[in-house]
Chain A
Amino acid sequence: MKKLIKPIEPIIGKSLDRVESFIHTHPKVNFLFGAVFGAFDGLLRSAKETTQTQPFIRNNYDVKRFMGAVLVALVIGWVLPALYFFGWQCVVSKLLVSFIIGVFVVDVLWAIIAREDHISEGGFVTCLLIPAILPPQSPIWLVGLGAALAIIFRNVLGGVGNNLVNPALFSRLFLTICFPSLLVTGYQMPFVGMPDLHSFRYGLDAVTHATPLTAFKTNGEVTSYLSLILGTSGGSLGETCRLALILSGLWLIKIRVVNWRIPVSYLGSVLIFSVFLSLIMGKAVAPPLFQILSGGLILGAFYMATDPITTTYNQAAKWIYGAGCGFITVLIRDFTTLPEGVMYSILLMNLLAIPIQSLMVRIKYRA
């Protein structure tokens, strides 16, 4: 790879330098395209700043790599399984719409209007999550709207680093309120297998089917655990194949992008509370293992709740945060008419993260 790119390196480098100096000497061009160029340049070349203060060497690891690792994990965790289970016609179109509207239209427009220095890679993660948390049969425009809302919401609050709540989940909450019918009914059973000529001919309008949690709520039916793990049951586009999600989540924990405390405390508290409730109430509530494996819990615990900006910074407070997420999830699933509570629990705990953080800091330093 290194040898392949060596001859073209000086050519690209020189032309990038030329474009850069052109942009910087023309204020109007800089206003419109400076941000776009900056983002493109940042992908191809390293920064030129050098250290001026102690320490004089820095670790070769930056936010771009951080986000890159999340992107890789998400592709392995839900995009590849979804391609297999729901067909590429369904997944690719949604991803394209989400990325084009979210990153290349809304974020670039925002960068131009708000005079940001550059669009940030965080947008890719958000836009990759948007199709994952919507039903497989949700229309394309809904995905685009969700991506646009998420990016606008994040930017209004001040961009990556200032989010109050997870932007992808906020956008889904908005869509749930505005278009409840689309978000409740658009679930289908996975195809299992690559799409064949049949699906080309007749399209992809499969029959809608209740998600495992809705099925349990309506007639007490417990889906088989094996199909939940492998992803052959219904659900949102990205949440069905728990095996891939868990494996890529563990990889993220290993390279320390995801803090292990949150998935452990989230899943642990769901297990504890659901065991506790099923001991008291018996068959009226969902069995513990079914709770862990169904719905968006795995996706939420490994990818949404762990979004470092919206959680607490203090490590001890992370345990409380995760446990709170688990508690609210079990409460909503067992005692309300809503089948699924992961989205609400993460959003609520995101809001509570700041008070928890300041409380723990006070306990740690002033006790």
Chain B
Amino acid sequence: MLREKENIGFKGGLNLLDTYPLRFCNIIERISSDGIPEVFEFRVPDQKIQHVIVNLCPTEPWALPNWVILEHKTAAFLNKLKEIKTRYFPEAKCYIAINKKEDEPNAAVKDYAGDAEWMKVFALAAKYPQDDPVILSKVVLGIETNFGQDAMTQGILILDAQTVSAIYENCMLGNKVNSRFIALSGTGLKENEIINVQLGTSLEKILRNRVKESGKCRVFVNGPLHGREVTDLSQKMGWSINNIVVLEELDQKVMFPMFKSDELVLTTNMLGESRRCVYCNFCDDICPVDLEPALYYHSYKRGEKHKVRLYNLEKCIECGLCSFICPSKLELLQIIKECKALDKQK
């Protein structure tokens, strides 16, 4: 069964794939860890799973692209999925979210889905943060989940392509899975590439000889928008790391920024001075869950942090788009997190 959905249950958002087009090198290099690599293990969840969502629609340009896993053999991938489904989740229904702009997997999945009753296909617009668990389960299933809550408690299991193929290797074929693909990108690297890394490799080893020598760089795991910054590079790599972004640290003034907009994108620079809120409505236009972040800012500035939670604060999925778009460069996400923490203490 095939259903096309564009922005149902979801307004705002940003098409990051067009804003920051990143191209990856086709050659995939293997990196092995120095010690004994960790092994991927899939534990069948205790809860009854009713819905399995397979996310084939990465919305961030630095995320691992689909072709690495699918290898243009989408039908084979779907066969694997079917076997997993019949073995572990016989009662569940599969939902596959694909990017409607990617023609090849799109056609293959639609072809496959034609007569399959066990799965449903959703051709989605790859707008960030479409692949966020909250948005995904709302758009695909129409079920409201809260941010931070484990979707499993509501019987929803969300998998990405790489995890599906790892589960197949591990549980169906009985092979040990001890490596995964990650995407390396950013202005601080010599080249954007995809590598196959053994689990447990330190980030330092991955980035060795890949980072540009000149200038300072900062390393972010799982994307600069909602990922975290890594300062300690001796950290070991785990299964949860999907991509590593290395950005140039632009901590000096640049002459004539109006003529150099191409050089300034994808750096850690603020790209503007911090000002007062000018009520431009950019943040609530872009908010994917229909909040008004500037209200939080004004309450926070007046010292009324307790008031903030009146304005549907718990709905926020912390995608970071409000801080990203703000022309006054306000730290809106930081304010939201602070107020959420206050809420939890009580």
The chain A residues found within 8 Å of chain B, CB to CB, are 1-2, 5, 9, 12-13, 16, 41-42, 44-51, 53-66, 120, 159-162, 256-257, 259, 308-309, 311, 313-315, 361, 365-366
Contact = CB atoms under 8 A, between A and B. Distances in A.
Contact of A44 (B228, B252, B255, B279): B255
A63 B268 contact: no
23 contacts: A5-B255, A45-B257, A47-B269, A47-B270, A48-B252, A49-B251, A50-B268, A55-B324, A56-B224, A57-B268, A58-B329, A59-B271, A60-B261, A62-B271, A62-B328, A63-B272, A63-B327, A161-B275, A308-B279, A308-B280, A311-B279, A313-B295, A315-B284
Contact of A49 (B227, B254, B269, B320): B269
B254 A57 contact: no
Contacts of B225: 54-57
Contact of B253 (A47, A57, A120, A159): A47
Contact of B249 (A41, A50, A120, A309): A50
Contacts of A315: 281, 284
B282 interface: yes
Given A9-B256, A13-B253, A313 B327 contact: no
B218 interface: yes
B171 interface: no
Contact of A60 (B265, B268, B276): B265
Interface in B302-343: 310-312, 318, 320-321, 323-329, 331, 333-334
Given A54-B226, A66-B327, A1 B281 contact: no
Contacts of A62: 271-273, 275, 327-329
B307 to A, nearest CB: 10
Contact of A313 (B226, B256, B279, B323): B279
Given A53-B334, A259-B281, A365 B247 contact: no
B229 interface: yes
Given A44-B256, A314-B292, A51 B268 contact: yes
Given A2-B259, A60-B271, 5 more contacts: A42-B273, A46-B257, A49-B274, A58-B323, A65-B327
A60 B266 CA distance: 9
Interface of B: 218, 220, 224-229, 247, 249-257, 259-261, 264-282, 284-285, 292, 294-295, 310-312, 318, 320-321, 323-329, 331, 333-334
Contacts of B318: 54
A47 B273 contact: yes
Contacts of A5: 255-256, 259
B259 A1 contact: yes
B269 A313 contact: no
B328 A313 contact: no
A311 to B, nearest CB: 7
A308 B277 CA distance: 10
Contacts of A314: 292
A366 B311 CA distance: 9
A162 B331 CA distance: 19
A156 to B, nearest CB: 16
B206 to A, nearest CB: 19
B265 A48 contact: no
Contacts of B327: 59, 61-63, 65-66
Contacts of A41: 253
A63 B333 contact: no
A285 to B, nearest CB: 35
B224 A60 contact: no
Contacts of A51: 268-270
A63 B278 CA distance: 8
A63 B225 CA distance: 21
B266 A61 contact: no
B273 to A, nearest CB: 5
Nearest to A17: B253
A256 B259 contact: no
In the A-B complex, list the 10 residue pairs whose CB atoms are closest, starting with the nearest. Answer: A62-B272, A161-B276, A55-B320, A46-B257, A56-B224, A45-B253, A308-B279, A55-B225, A50-B268, A49-B270
Greatest chain B CB density within 10 A among A13, A42, A62, A64 is at: A62
Contacts of A120: 275
B292 A54 contact: no
A113 B81 CA distance: 70
Contacts of B273: 42, 47, 49, 62-64
A56 B60 CA distance: 14
A62 B327 CA distance: 4
B220 A256 contact: no
A308 B320 CA distance: 23
A2 B260 contact: yes
A365 B315 CA distance: 12
Given A48-B253, A63-B328, A313-B292, A54 B320 contact: yes
B315 to A, nearest CB: 11
Contacts of A9: 255-256
Contacts of B270: 47, 49-51, 58
A130 B136 CA distance: 50
B185 to A, nearest CB: 12
A101 B82 CA distance: 75
A272 B227 CA distance: 51
Nearest to B276: A161
Contacts of B331: 53
A82 B265 CA distance: 39
B276 to A, nearest CB: 3
Contacts of B281: 259, 308, 313, 315
A47 B255 CA distance: 10
Contacts of B247: 56-57
A355 B255 CA distance: 44
B264 A46 contact: yes
Nearest to B250: A50
Nearest to A57: B224
A180 B271 CA distance: 46
Contacts of B253: 13, 16, 41, 45-48
Max chain A Cβ within 10 angstroms of own Cβ: one of B254, B261, B284: B254
A128 B310 CA distance: 41
Contact of A54 (B218, B255, B260, B334): B334
B228 to A, nearest CB: 8
A365 B269 contact: no
A61 B229 contact: no
Contacts of A65: 327
